[in-house]
Chains A and B, each alone.
Chain A
Amino acid sequence: MTELAYIRNFSIVAHIDHGKSTLADRLIQLTGTVAERDMKEQLLDAMDIERERGITIKANTVRIEYPAKDGHTYVLNLIDTPGHVDFAYEVSRSMRAVEGSLLVVDATQGVEAQTLANVYQAIEANHEIIPVLNKIDLPAADVDRVAEQIEDVIGIDATDAVQISAKTGIGIPDVLEAIVTRLPPPHEGDRNAPLKAMLVDSKYDPYLGVVVIVRIIDGVLKKGQRIRMMKTGGTYDVDKVGVYRPAMVAVDALGPGEIGFLTASIKQVRDTRVGDTITTEKNGCATALPGFKPSIPVVFCGLFPVDSAEFEDLRDAIEKLALNDASFSYEMETSAALGFGFRCGFLGLLHLEVIRDRLEREYGIDLITTAPSVVYNIFMKDGEVRELHNPADMPDMTLVDHIKEPRIKATIMVPDEFLGDVLKLCQDRRGIQLDMTYAGSRAMVVYDLPLNEVVFDFYDRLKSVTKGYASFDYQMIGYREDNLVKMQILVNDEPVDALSTMVHRDRAEGRGRAMVEKLKELIPRHMFKIPIQAAVGGRVVARETLSAMRKDVTAKCYGGDATRKKKLLEKQKAGKKKMRQFGKVEIPQQAFINALKMDD
Chain B
Amino acid sequence: MTTENWQDGGFGLYIHWPFCQAKCPYCDFNSHVVAEVDQKRWERAYLSEIDRIGAETGNRVLHSVFFGGGTPSLMEPALVGAILDRVRATWPASNDMEITLEANPTSVESGRFAGYRDAGVNRVSMGIQALNDSDLRRLGRLHSVAEARAAFDIARKTFDRVSFDLIYARQKQSLADWRDELTAALAMAADHLSLYQLTIEPGTAFGARFARGGLKGLPQEDLAGDLYQMTQELCEKAGMPGYEISNHARPGAESRHNMIYWRHGDYAGIGPGAHGRLTLGGDRFATDTPLQPGVWLNAVEQRGNGENPRTPLSPMDQGAEYLLMGLRLRDGISLKRHESLSGTPLDPNKIKYLSDIGMIRHVGDTLCATSEGRVVLNAILRELLPE
**Quick check: which of B50-58, B137-145, B222-230 contacts chain A, the rest being far away?**
B222-230
How distant is B202 from chain A, measured CB to nearest CB, in Å?
11
* A549 with B376: CB separation less than 8 A: yes
For chain B residues 195-214, which have a beta carbon within 8 Å of chain A? 196-199
- Docked complex Cα distance between A547 and B376 (Å): 13
* B382 with A559: CB separation less than 8 A: no
* B353 with A562: CB separation less than 8 A: no
- Docked complex Cα distance between A573 and B381 (Å): 9
Q: Can you name the residue of chain A whose Cβ is closest to the Cβ of B325?
A: A562
Is residue A553 contacting chain B, with contact meaning CB distance below 8 A? Answer: yes
Q: What mask results when residues 359 to 377 of chain B are scored 1 for a CB within 8 Å of chain A, else 0?
A: 1000000000000011111
* A557 with B328: CB separation less than 8 A: yes
* B376 with A566: CB separation less than 8 A: no
Q: What mask results when residues 154 to 196 of chain B are scored 1 for a CB within 8 Å of chain A, else 0?
A: 0000000000000000000000000000000000000000001
For chain B residues 214-271, which have a beta carbon within 8 Å of chain A? 221-222, 224-226, 228, 245-246, 258, 260-261, 267, 269
Please classify how large the interface on chain A is, using the bins under 10, 10 to 19, 20 to 34, 35 or more. 20 to 34
Chain A CB within 10 A, most for which of B320, B324, B373, B385: B324
* A555 with B246: CB separation less than 8 A: yes
Chain B CB within 10 A, most for which of A528, A549, A553, A554: A553
* B261 with A569: CB separation less than 8 A: no
- Docked complex Cα distance between A186 and B378 (Å): 73
- Docked complex Cα distance between A528 and B354 (Å): 10
* B357 with A527: CB separation less than 8 A: yes
* A552 with B378: CB separation less than 8 A: yes
Is residue A287 contacting chain B, with contact meaning CB distance below 8 A? Answer: no
* B374 with A563: CB separation less than 8 A: no
A572 touching B261 in the complex, CB below 8 Å, given contacts A556-B196, A560-B274: no
Q: Can you name the residue of chain A whose Cβ is closest to the Cβ of B228?
A: A551
Q: B353: which of A554, A555, A576, A584 is its contact (CB, 8 Å)?
A: A584
Is residue A53 contacting chain B, with contact meaning CB distance below 8 A? Answer: no
Q: What mask results when residues 516 to 550 of chain A are scored 1 for a CB within 8 Å of chain B, else 0?
A: 00000000011110000000000000000001011
Q: What mask results when residues 558 to 590 of chain A are scored 1 for a CB within 8 Å of chain B, else 0?
A: 111011011001101100100000001000000
Residues from chain B with a CB closer than 8 A to the CB of A558 are 258, 261
Residues from chain B with a CB closer than 8 A to the CB of A557 are 245, 261, 324-325, 328
- Docked complex Cα distance between A559 and B288 (Å): 11
- Docked complex Cα distance between A547 and B220 (Å): 14
* A550 with B245: CB separation less than 8 A: no
Q: B245: which of A554, A559, A560 is its contact (CB, 8 Å)?
A: A554
A553 touching B376 in the complex, CB below 8 Å, given contacts A560-B273, A565-B324, A566-B321: yes
A550 touching B196 in the complex, CB below 8 Å, given contacts A528-B357, A556-B246, A560-B275: no
Residues from chain B with a CB closer than 8 A to the CB of A556 are 196, 199, 246
Is residue B123 contacting chain A, with contact meaning CB distance below 8 A? Answer: no
Chain B CB within 10 A, most for which of A526, A527, A559, A562: A559
Residues from chain B with a CB closer than 8 A to the CB of A526 are 379
- Docked complex Cα distance between A566 and B323 (Å): 10
- Docked complex Cα distance between A553 and B327 (Å): 11
Residues from chain A with a CB closer than 8 A to the CB of B288 are 563
Residues from chain B with a CB closer than 8 A to the CB of A527 are 354, 357, 359, 373, 376, 379-380
Residues from chain B with a CB closer than 8 A to the CB of A552 are 375-379
* A570 with B385: CB separation less than 8 A: yes
Residues from chain B with a CB closer than 8 A to the CB of A565 are 324
Chain A contact residues: helix, strand, loop or mixed: loop
* A559 with B267: CB separation less than 8 A: yes
Is residue B276 contacting chain A, with contact meaning CB distance below 8 A? Answer: yes
A554 touching B378 in the complex, CB below 8 Å, given contacts A560-B274, A562-B321: yes
Is residue B63 contacting chain A, with contact meaning CB distance below 8 A? Answer: no
Q: B196: which of A549, A555, A576, A584 is its contact (CB, 8 Å)?
A: A555
A569 touching B277 in the complex, CB below 8 Å, given contacts A551-B376, A552-B377: no
Q: Can you name the residue of chain A whose Cβ is closest to the Cβ of B328?
A: A557
Is residue B14 contacting chain A, with contact meaning CB distance below 8 A? Answer: yes
Q: Can you name the residue of chain A whose Cβ is closest to the Cβ of B354?
A: A527
* B197 with A555: CB separation less than 8 A: yes
A563 touching B196 in the complex, CB below 8 Å, given contacts A528-B357, A553-B374: no
How distant is B289 from chain A, measured CB to nearest CB, in Å?
10
* A550 with B221: CB separation less than 8 A: yes
- Docked complex Cα distance between A93 and B228 (Å): 69
- Docked complex Cα distance between A559 and B255 (Å): 13
Is residue B8 contacting chain A, with contact meaning CB distance below 8 A? Answer: no
How distant is B182 from chain A, measured CB to nearest CB, in Å?
15
How distant is A592 from chain B, measured CB to nearest CB, in Å?
22
A572 touching B196 in the complex, CB below 8 Å, given contacts A555-B246, A558-B258: no
Q: Can you name the residue of chain A whose Cβ is closest to the Cβ of B353?
A: A584
* B324 with A553: CB separation less than 8 A: no
Q: B286: which of A550, A563, A570 is its contact (CB, 8 Å)?
A: A563
Q: Can you name the residue of chain A whose Cβ is closest to the Cβ of B220?
A: A550
Residues from chain A with a CB closer than 8 A to the CB of B378 are 552-554, 569, 572
For chain B residues 275-332, which have a beta carbon within 8 Å of chain A? 275-277, 286, 288, 317, 320-321, 324-325, 328
* A566 with B267: CB separation less than 8 A: no
* B359 with A553: CB separation less than 8 A: no
Q: Can you name the residue of chain A whose Cβ is closest to the Cβ of B374?
A: A553
Q: Can you name the residue of chain A whose Cβ is closest to the Cβ of B219?
A: A551
Q: B225: which of A551, A560, A562, A572 is its contact (CB, 8 Å)?
A: A551
Residues from chain B with a CB closer than 8 A to the CB of A550 are 221-222, 224-226, 375-376
* A559 with B224: CB separation less than 8 A: no
* A569 with B385: CB separation less than 8 A: yes
Residues from chain A with a CB closer than 8 A to the CB of B286 are 562-563
* B269 with A559: CB separation less than 8 A: yes
Q: B261: which of A551, A554, A562, A573 is its contact (CB, 8 Å)?
A: A562
How distant is A129 from chain B, measured CB to nearest CB, in Å?
52
Q: Can you name the residue of chain A whose Cβ is closest to the Cβ of B198?
A: A555
- Docked complex Cα distance between A528 and B379 (Å): 11
How distant is A520 from chain B, measured CB to nearest CB, in Å?
14
Q: Can you name the residue of chain A whose Cβ is closest to the Cβ of B14?
A: A559
A549 touching B379 in the complex, CB below 8 Å, given contacts A554-B245, A555-B197, A563-B275: yes
Residues from chain B with a CB closer than 8 A to the CB of A551 are 197, 221, 224-225, 228, 375-376
* A569 with B317: CB separation less than 8 A: no
For chain B residues 338-366, which have a beta carbon within 8 Å of chain A? 353-354, 357, 359
How distant is A579 from chain B, measured CB to nearest CB, in Å?
11
Residues from chain B with a CB closer than 8 A to the CB of A570 are 385
How distant is A106 from chain B, measured CB to nearest CB, in Å?
37
* B261 with A553: CB separation less than 8 A: no
How distant is B360 from chain A, measured CB to nearest CB, in Å?
10
- Docked complex Cα distance between A573 and B382 (Å): 5
Q: A553: which of B260, B267, B277, B375 is its contact (CB, 8 Å)?
A: B375
How distant is A186 from chain B, measured CB to nearest CB, in Å?
63
Residues from chain A with a CB closer than 8 A to the CB of B221 are 525, 549-551
How distant is A66 from chain B, measured CB to nearest CB, in Å?
56
* B224 with A566: CB separation less than 8 A: no
Residues from chain A with a CB closer than 8 A to the CB of B224 are 550-551
Q: Can you name the residue of chain A whose Cβ is closest to the Cβ of B245?
A: A553
- Docked complex Cα distance between A576 and B386 (Å): 13
* A559 with B261: CB separation less than 8 A: yes
How distant is B235 from chain A, measured CB to nearest CB, in Å?
15
Q: Can you name the residue of chain B whose Cβ is closest to the Cβ of A547?
A: B222
Q: Can you name the residue of chain A whose Cβ is closest to the Cβ of B275?
A: A560
A555 touching B375 in the complex, CB below 8 Å, given contacts A562-B321, A576-B382, A584-B353: no
- Docked complex Cα distance between A547 and B269 (Å): 42
A–B Cβ pairs within 8 angstroms, 21 of them:
A527-B357, A527-B373, A528-B357, A550-B376, A553-B245, A553-B374, A553-B378, A554-B377, A555-B196, A555-B245, A558-B261, A559-B260, A559-B261, A560-B14, A560-B29, A560-B275, A562-B261, A562-B286, A562-B325, A563-B288, A570-B385
Interface pairs A-B: 4 shortest CB-CB: A550-B225, A560-B275, A551-B225, A555-B196
**11 further interface pairs, Cβ-Cβ under 8 Å (given A527-B354, A527-B380, A558-B258):** A526-B379, A551-B225, A551-B376, A553-B245, A553-B375, A553-B377, A555-B246, A557-B324, A559-B269, A563-B288, A570-B385
